[in-house]
Chain A
Amino acid sequence: MDVGIILSIIISMVFVNNFVLSKFLGLCPFLGVSRNIKPAISMGMAVIFVMTLSGLLTWLVYRFVLLPLGLVYLRTIVFILVIASFVQFAEMVILKKSPALYRALGIYLPLITTNCAVLGVTVLNIDTFFVNGKSLPGGLVLTLLQSFFAGIGFTLALLLMAGIRERLDLADVPKSLRGVPIAFIVASLMSLAFMGFNGFRF
């Protein structure tokens, strides 16, 4: 496998096509869980975990169930089904095997069930790594990579936002802009900044 492809996937997922700031997916946790750095880290870890494994699962389902049966138009609903049941399953296993991790991920794990960024990355995987109804060579590994780094990109955006908002708490913001309004302004400025990465071409 070409190192160039891997590198371009990493840079594309983390910076150029950042899920939050360029594709505008997963905005709910981006604004909801970015008040403090600590929960933002927990949320980011949970998203990375869920994205990577649902990327893997949906690729398997698509490759071995939907493609052979010619039911590719069912992919959205099937992917939602897969992601939701996987998250539920993961929650049960984690609660049993590692209560400490369960407490760290806390409420964020079930919240991710319906996170559009997760569905977004699975759909993107299929769009990128299947050409003319055939899987590209090494598609599974690339899928895993792409999903993982999409999660990293999400976490990066979330952490940046949380860091900025923690400092914003101490800043003298006009009263009418305090709280969510200034967060929206910050988010749009960050998004503009990330558009700058669009200049990178590989």
Chain B
Amino acid sequence: MSLLEIVAAILVLGSLGLLFGLGLAIASKKFCVAVDPHLEKIISCLPGANCGACGMPGCMGFAQSLLKGEVALNSCRAIDEDSRKKVARILGVELQARVRQVAVLHCAGGKKVGDKFQYNGLEDCLAADLVLGGGKECVYGCLGFVTCKEVCPFEAITMSSEALPVVAPLKCRACGKCVEACPKKLFSLIPASSSVVVACNSHDTGRDVQAVCPVGCIACRKCEKACKFDAIHVVDNLAVIDYNKCTSCGECVKVCPTKCIIIPKANLKNKEI
């Protein structure tokens, strides 16, 4: 190979590289799309789980809509308090008070409820629910496959030894994914400051409930009478707490004969913190 060939190769490759480089440089100026510098900062403050609870396509979409003023900051249910303040400062908006919520499970059955048949299909609550409402004797109760645990973007749900999902309140960001995913609609979001939960979802009459589950709500209305704040009512054979009125005094917990109104231990800890 002669020196000329080597020089020619270097020249051609070099000039091609230079040409493309210049072309790209010009193109990047010409086709430049201005990106709001706030966008990056906001995205870094958001949880980044892309849970979709705000209704936007992921955290980036939410940040873009925030900048355009299309959504309120409160739509993000997953963000923690510090980051929320940071984002509010970047946006220059007033921070509205927001009640922190956590997800709770309305079932205490688990292994206490027997099987009505042996379910041998996919290990997934949605699939199990399609087969006569799942293998559990109580058609309202938790099926114990880990669908809620799998959808939780924050790993806040673990399975207890009772084969029931347990929500860790400190990890829970109330994104509502488990609420949507559960085919039995066993989860709901309650204010984190409240600690009383009706751990039953059965709308059956007292006798039917007692036949299948020792810890179900039998609609005896003792809690209704015990409550001084008119906060708990039996609706359609099931005790329902109105968290706007509930003061977490614990009177209903004391009188409940089946102990289906509970103060979850994890929630107590949360309160102390």
Residues of chain A at the chain B interface (Cβ within 8 Å): 61, 65-66, 69-71, 74, 77-78, 81-82, 85, 88-89, 92-93, 95-97, 170, 172
Is B28 positioned at the interface, with any CB of A under 8 Å from its CB? yes
> In whole angstroms, what is the CA distance A88 to B26 when docked?
12
B90 at the binding interface (Cβ < 8 Å):
no
Interface presence of B235 (CB below 8 A): no
Given contacts A71-B8, A89-B24, 14 further A-B contacts (CB under 8 A): A65-B12, A69-B8, A71-B9, A71-B12, A74-B9, A74-B12, A74-B13, A77-B13, A78-B12, A78-B13, A85-B20, A85-B23, A95-B31, A172-B122
Q: Is B48 an interface residue (CB 8 A)?
A: no
Q: Which residue of A lies closest to B28 (CB)?
A: A92
Q: A78-B13, A81-B20 are in contact. Are A92 and B27 (CB under 8 A)?
A: yes
Residues of B within 8 A of A (CB): 5, 8-9, 12-13, 16-17, 20-21, 23-24, 27-28, 31-33, 122
Give Cα A89 to B9, complex, Å.
25
- Taking CB atoms, residues of chain B closer than 8 Å to A69 are 8, 12
Contacts known (A71-B12, A74-B12); A81 close to B17, Cβ less than 8 A: yes
SS of A interface (majority): helix
Taking CB atoms, residues of chain A closer than 8 Å to B20 are 81-82, 85
B177 shortest CB reach to chain A, Å:
19
Residues on B with beta carbons closer than 8 Å to the beta carbon of A95:
31, 33
14 contacts between A and B (CB under 8 A): A61-B16, A69-B12, A70-B5, A71-B9, A71-B12, A74-B12, A74-B13, A78-B16, A85-B21, A85-B24, A88-B24, A92-B28, A92-B31, A172-B122
Closest residue of chain A to B57, judged by CB?
A: A103
- Which residues of B lie under 8 Å from residue A66 when comparing CB positions? 12
B23 x A96 contact (CB < 8 A): no
A-side contacts of B122, CB under 8 Å: 170, 172
* C-alpha spacing A82/B31, complex, angstroms: 19
Q: Is the CB of B13 within 8 A of A89?
A: no
Smallest CB gap from A94: residue in B: B31
Q: CB-CB < 8 A to B24: which residues of A?
A: 85, 88-89, 92
Query: Within the assembled complex, what's the spacing in Å between the Cα atoms of A69 and B24?
Result: 25
List B contacts of A70 (CB < 8 A): 5
